[in-house]
Structure 1
Amino acid sequence: MRVERVRLRNFKCYGDADLTLHHGVTVVHGVNGSGKSTLLEAVFFALYGSKALDDRTLDDVITTGEEEAEVELAFTHDGGDYRIERHLTLRGDRATTTKCVLETGTETIEGARDVRREVTKLLRMDADAFVNCAYVRQGEVNKLIHASPGDRQDMIDDLLQLGALEEYRERASDARLGVKTVLDGQREVRDNLQEQVETKEDNGLHERLNGLESKRTEVGGQIEHYESQREEAERTLETAEDVLERHEETRVEMADLAEEIESLRSTITETEGEREDLKERIRARRDELEKYEDERAELLSEAEIEVGIGIDEGVDVATDADLDVDLDLDLDLETGRDTTPDLDPATSNETVDDLIERLEADDETLREGLEELRLAIQEHTGEVTRLRERADELEAEAESKRADADDLAETLAEDEAAIEERETTVEELGEEIETRRSEFDDAPIAFGEAADHREELASEREDCRSDLADVSAQIDATTASIKEGEELLEAGKCPECGQPVEDSPHVDVLEERREELADLEERCEELRDDLESLEERLERADELCEVEREVERLEDRRENMTRLLAEKRETLADRRDQREQLRERADELEADAEQKRADAEAIEDTADERRGELGEINGARSGLKETLQRLRRASELAVEIESLEGDIEADRERRANKAELNDERRTRLSDKRERKRELEEEFDEDRIEQARSERENAAEYIEQVDAELETLRERRTNLQNAIGAVENELEELENLRERLEDVDARCVDLESLYEEAETLQATYGDLRTELRQRNVETLERLLNETFDLVYQNDSYASIDLDGEYRLTVYQKDGEPLEPEQLSGGERALFNLSLRCAIYRLLAEGVEGTAPMPPLILDEPTVFLDSGHVTQLVSLVESMRDLGVEQIVLVSHDEELVGAADDLVRVEKDSTSNRSQLERGEPPDAALLASD
């Protein structure tokens, strides 16, 4: 992980701040209280939110007097780009998070908890692990040393991700205890079931069941005996009721016969009255029949019809070759009346119907001819309209085609002008490309090599900066050595070995160191000149890269413009062809329209001829319809006459039928009177009284036997219930035995599961111990390597780290020391070395190589004197040499500035009490020494 940028607004002492962090060592420098540590707190807060505030609240984050605050952090991690943005708003006396967003490049995560969860997953460490490994906060340099053994063990286990194994072991222990609880419960259930089974087995359930079933059989036999006796009584009762029922039926039948006799007598009288009514209706219908016959005779006389007319005249109403209608009728074409003598009024109706049919057929022939003429006229009229409309459409289409051709002509002129303009643009682009390429004429590289050239220069600049930092460190060390030598010399001691000058042969070594210092300063100046030259060449390389990109854009534009010109020319040729086709088509359409109008005039003349023929036929049909009207009325009267004759005949038949019905009714009346006399003779009072007595005796016996049966059935039911209760107990006993078997099996399974949980708990504990030992060995090696870099050729030999993370420092003489026995500066360096060793172990990875966050040290020189600060610089340099991509040091100590690849100065305005950032170059180490 590498922090790219942090932006603040109204965050603690910052109003607006925007800081970009680079690769390598960045020193944030400023006096105490200027706001240096706040920058690191902002990074920590952006990653973990409120979890980074310790005992403080969100209210403490917002600048005093402001209502809102913002923090934005951009960083790269494991090849991906990420950005976190948090907004806070003060509402009343409490601040809340109003926006929290993490952009990952593939998705956007919102919400403070979700963002913190994703950051923890990305970095593989939560907020506590972050401050225990990568972020050494101010005042917490000795945190791991001062921690109790148990706390130190938990901290390092969590960093090395061994805490999860302890959590799993505890889960396995909880599971084991849970299984034990369930197992004890199941054993108690098993004992209880065993006791219930034994109790029920001692109750003699089978003997009780056999006795109850014997009693039930005995009661069942008694019930069957009484039920058979009851059935016999029911049969006697049924026989008596049948006799009484037949007696009642006879009495009812006699009453019914009396009513039917009276009804028949009344019906016969009523029917005789109806026969008299029919006689009068027949007389009235005869009078109406004579009236209709007189009217029919008069109509036939007026129609002047004679049967058997010959047809010798015809009217030709043919219209054209497609319509021929010949009408052959003996009719006067002026009146439509037949010219034959009168028809005898006595002529039968069948003859009149034949004449009506013949005249209707003639009228239908005339109507069909008339319809054909009308249809022909309508078709001619429609064709004329269609032809004229089509001619109008063709003329409009021709006009539209000519307008389109004119529009294409204008478009062609515009396209030709556009082509000329674009050809000019292509030429101008070519000239501009050549002009931009010419900027490489005096360049040290050819066109197309700018990007590689810039990368080479950037690499050279990084090497030069590294060399300059090394030389600056050597100057600092040499200057310190010269100063120490001068102090020894003033004290009368050798600057090389510390012995009195008169006894030492190394007095001239101080001059050699001064010459070495001069060489180093000269080398430092050369490196600065080289760095300045490289910066200028890099600026020129950036310009050339931009020229190459601009040429590429111009060439793409010229290529696109050339392709568009080719397409435009093809379109121009197509449009010329289209214009000529439109004009030719317009001429064709105008010729078609003229021909359509000529055809319409010819058809309209033919339609006028058909209209004249239509008038002649309409006159002929008028006279024919009058004759048909009289004949149809005569035919209707004939039907009425025939109907009246039928009604008269029907009335006569109904009158005769009614006479026959009355004869039948008189016969039935005689029969019913005879049946009534027979029933009166069969009526027996003694048999009826006997049946009533038998019915009462049978009913009384049934009532008595029902009471006894009810008692016996109740007793049988009680026995059945008792049998069911015993059977239920037997079923319960069987169920208890089955449950006992299931519980026994479950206890066996739980005992096995308990053993497995116990084994799993031990396995997690052993695995944690094994992994911790492996990590302890690696951490001990890395700690010794780091400590050796700090204390080269000093008085300490090695560091021992046991399985419980207890630390022991061994001196050169083998004497062990506890870390608390070291001096304050040595203890601080020892703790920093431990932090760096843990950092390296995590970087090598618990699950493979892990992309670690920046190594952040906040005021690490608090407990260090001048000599130990130099060792701290060596520690930082060693971490950079080991591959830590980004190290951030926050300090007020000027001695750390010389170790910086990038320097950020922090100052606080005394008036506004706001901090401001300023990027600067690391000062010359020699100048620092002179100060």
Structure 2
Amino acid sequence: MIIESLHIKNFKSHRDTYIDFDTGISIIMGGNGAGKSSILEAISFALFKQHTSKKIDQLITIGQKRMSVEMRFIVNGRKYSILRERTKTSSKALMKVKEGDQFHPLVSGDRQVTTEVQELLEMDGDLFLNAVYVRQGEIADLIEKTPAEKKEMIGRLLGIDSLEKAWKNMKIVLDKYKDKKLRLEGKIESFAELKEELNSKKEQEDNFKIEIKTLNREIEEKIIETKLIQEKKEILDKRGLEFEKNQTLLNSKEQFREQLEKTKKDLDWQLTEITRKEQEIDKLKPKLSRLEVLKSLEEKGKELKNLNKDKERLINILNDIERFEKILTDNEPYYNDYSLLNNDVNSLQYAKDQFEGSRVLSQQYTARKLKVEAKMNEALEKTRDALEKSNHILNTHFTSVEELETHLSTFKPQLEAKLQKTSKNVHEIQKELSNLQVKNQDLEKPIDELEQVKDRCPICKSTITPEKRYELINDYQTDIEANIVRSNDLKEKLMEIEAQKENLDLQQSKIQSINLGILKEYLNSVEEDNKEIESINSNLKELQEKINILEGIEKDIKVKKSQIDGIKGKYENYISVKGSLESLGDIEEHSSHLNEINTSLRDLKKKISVLMDIAGESIENLPEEIVYLEEMNQKYQRLLGELTQKDALIKRQKETEKLIQETLEEIEDINKNIVELKYNEKSHERVKNEWNLKNEELNQLTGKKQLLNGQLDQISISIKELESKIESFQKYKKELNNLKDFLKLLNFIRDLYGKDGVQKDLRNISRPLIEEKTRELFERFNFEYSDIKLDEDYDVTIYGPTGESSLDMISGGEKIAVALALRLGITQVLSGGNLELIMLDEPTIHLDAYRRQELIDLLKKMSIIPQMVIVTHDTDLEDAADNILRIEKEKGTSFLVES
């Protein structure tokens, strides 16, 4: 499978990321947490809907409602497209195949798409990830981990760990069926007890049936006795009800008669009172004739008083008007002068307002000028300091930024070239030292073997003489010593070059601290500040002319205001009196109104005289006389109202007398009915008690029968259950035999999944395949190794020019080569040998600097796999890349940086 493109929307931290994948090595670069590994997870999600989140909803970007992953890829020369979408509540999946120039739908739905991908790739999601996806630290683990840990890791990749898990889970299933077997055996053992219990229950059933039959006879006899008493009781119940009904009605009529007697007595009293009130009205009527005359006389007196008040008020107003007119005449010249001066001040104030802002603006410009000058001086000081520091670093005496820039444009490239050359020399010497170390290790091994075997060549196994043996050891030793001498020379040279490199690094670090950009910014700032100061000076000159005019206006306003203050009192007196005079109204209108009041007073006095003659008697205390007569009138009116009830009371009196007579007749008829009933309450009570006693006895017998029937039903149910259990005994026996056979089968299956079963077979089958694929990779990588062997624990043994070696016996670079080849060999086996894609997640993690460099060198040479995707934050891997994809993250959103 070759991936062509990937488009992810709202997937984890990726809002909208589109990636075109090419063949060769594609490096996905970015810092920790930038969202690199999410790209590999999106590929796994698109193909198999597999992900690392606890819940699938957590794949959706926070704050978004929908996410989607769309991937295009090639398998066996055909192009396919997969789209998976997800919301909080629903999902969608669609797979298409390209026919001609267009993609056509192939299958839809999550499960159907996943099944189609599995059939197309001939592997499920777990196998795909184990085959194609090399997780963080796997290559380092193949070097550093113990044999047991490496065995567990390779077992996980091959899927053996799932067999181990199945073997462990089978024990849970076995334990479950063993418990069932024990329960069945217990049930079968209790069979004899069940038969005894059944016989006992049947005997109890017979006893209950006999007892119920006896009770039925007793109940029938008791029912006959109860019915006879009940008939007698029903007759007495009927008479008792009739007696109570008549007695209640009699009591009610007696109470009604008593109430009517009380009502009649009350009506008689009320009529007597009305006769008395008629007599009182006749006495009050002659005295009320004076009331209206006295009230009119009181009203005219009040009117006379109000007219006198109005007359006095008008006389005062006319006097005030005459006095205010004289004051206005005296102060009118001052009022006119004040108005003219005030108009002049307002005109000058308007002119002042036109120039008032000039003074404030001048102050603002002056303050701004001081700030700009301070800023310019600060920029100049910073420029001088930066230039001085640069001269100190470079040991120069430049007086301008331009001279410094010209010098750095030639000096920096020369320094970088020297540093690059020195770094290259250090790397070459380190590489040669490492090779010499490995050669010495390779030379020491045959020396040890020659010292042990004595008379046999360790390589060809032929017999050798002691002289030949000594000669070989001496040759090996001479080579080792020569290598040691060379190593010492190289180490001295390395120290010398590293010292030079350190000095160059220091110079470069110092030069990098020189920031020409900031120096230029300082100079630009000074230039801009100078321009601004010139503009401010020009504006200040214009403003000063306006300020001079403003000061002249302010002087004129001060003189005018002094004159206004001198006549302000007389002006205010004029305004005050004028307002008062206007509020008093017209003098002619007031004079006319005064004449009208004098006329009204003469007419009113005549009317009062007439009313006093009509009243006749003395009216010295008029208000008290009126109050007394009004109280008498209220009493008179109240008595007249009460007299209106006289006819209604007489009518009610006659109706009450009639009702009393009718009620007496009804009481007599009720008493006759009570006598005719001949009801005896004690006889009735005795019959009721006898009936209750018989009924209670019947209920007791019926309750006892119901209890016995319930117990009989319960025993019958128990008998049926026991018979069913006894009948199922044969079924339990048969089920137990079947269960024993099934347990044998489960134990056999569990043994198959065990370490000595399929696990062992799978290891034995996969081991030679992995060896074969890894051996092929040795040849394709041009390694010096000729063969590789894996024992039962997947411990590695390799064969090279020096013979057989373990991983511990070879150099760090060789370990990396073997580990990479072994991991790719496992991948080839899992993919069926048709490997087109491999994905590596942080392959250099947990490796030291030397081994990391060796792995990078190997990846640079790798061309045996059509497409390789590497996720890393290691910038050294960029040298191995055909394509570089940079991922960055800002404000929680990951995105692809355009290269």
Band the TM-score falls in, shorter-chain normalisation:
0.3 to 0.5
Which structure is higher in RCO with an 8 Å CA cutoff and minimum separation 6? 2
Q: Structure 1 length as normaliser, TM-score?
A: 0.44
- Structure showing the higher helix proportion among its residues: 2
